[in-house]
Structure 1
Amino acid sequence: MLNKIILIGRLTRDPELRYTPNGTAVSNFSLAVERNYKNKNGERDVDFIDIVVWRKQAEHCANHLNKGRLVAVEGRLQIRSYETDEGQRRRNAEVVANNVQFLDWPNRNNDRQEPAEEDIDVPF
């Protein structure tokens, strides 16, 4: 069996960091990921995907990422089922991240910023 997801997108909100009762860090954020095709209006539709990150990487994401940052997420799809207070069954899909790569550099005024060519360290 194989369950592997790779996404590249921008954070729609700042990561939320919390700790489980036994002290394990967990961070949640959402990614806006454009689809590969344009709709009838010539625009790209966007999917909003919930991401869950655990342990040290959760703390790293919460401390260094914010809304608008570009990241790559590699992980697995997880479907959780739960029952509401009204007794209705609900399902929630999320990606449990194994690896989160930061793809841009933060800007002091929190605007999106692509790395300048001189900022990229290329080994020869």
Structure 2
Amino acid sequence: MINEVVLVGRMVKDPELRYTGEGTPVATFRLAVNRNYKNQEGVIEADFVSCTAWRNLAKTTADYCRKGQLVGVTGRIQTRRFEAKDGTTVYVTDIVVDNVRFLEKKRDAKTNASASGKEVKAPSAENQEFPPPPQNPPQEQAEQPVEQVRTPEKVGM
């Protein structure tokens, strides 16, 4: 079976970097991804896709990505579930990121970041690609909780 996602979109806001109890970095962010068609009013709508990056990719994403920046993301869809305070089961689907690619020149990224009031420390190479995390990370690190949020569970087939 194939579970691979490729998205191109703009960062909705700066990534949020946190650490698990074991000290593993995890960054969460959302991408605004335009649909390929216009609605009845002639407007192109966007989907807002939640993404999660782990380890070194999490730190790199938090350091170099800013609100409004155009990025390409590859990864896989993962669904997790948890019990809400009212006892209902909540299912959440997001993208576990394997790779982030900058799709704007450094100058363009600075222009977009200035709107958010933050300086961009982008790498000097354009369209730099970062290596994905290990294919088979240790299970205890891949499934560590982040603060009070449970990490994604694998859904049985």
Same fold (TM over 0.5): yes
Q: Deviations over 1:57-116 (max 9, x none)?
A: 11011011111000000000001111101101111110000001011132156249xxxx
Identity of aligned residues (%): 42
The reply to whether residue 103 of structure 1 matches residue 107 of structure 2 is no
SS in 2 for 1:107: helix
**Whole-angstrom CA distance in 2 between matches of 1:64 and 1:27:** 12
Q: CA RMSD in A?
A: 2.0
The match for 1:116 is none
The match for 1:34 is 34
**Whole-angstrom CA distance in 2 between matches of 1:43 and 1:110:** 27
The match for 1:54 is 54
Q: Deviations over 1:13-66 (max 9, x none)?
A: 110001111111100000000000111111111100000001111101101111
Gapped regions of structure 1 (runs ≥ 5): 113-119
The match for 1:117 is none
**Whole-angstrom CA distance in 2 between matches of 1:94 and 1:110:** 28
The match for 1:90 is 90
TM-score, length of structure 1 as denominator length: 0.86
The worse-fitting range, judged by mean Cα deviation, of 99-108 and 78-87 is 99-108
The match for 1:18 is 18
- The letter for the 2-side match of 1:88 is T
The worse-fitting range, judged by mean Cα deviation, of 101-110 and 75-84 is 101-110
The structure with the largest strand share of the pair is: 1
The match for 1:3 is 3
**Whole-angstrom CA distance in 2 between matches of 1:61 and 1:107:** 15
**Whole-angstrom CA distance in 2 between matches of 1:111 and 1:86:** 39
Number of equivalences? 115
- The letter for the 2-side match of 1:34 is N
**Whole-angstrom CA distance in 2 between matches of 1:111 and 1:84:** 36
The match for 1:71 is 71
The structure with the largest helix share of the pair is: 2
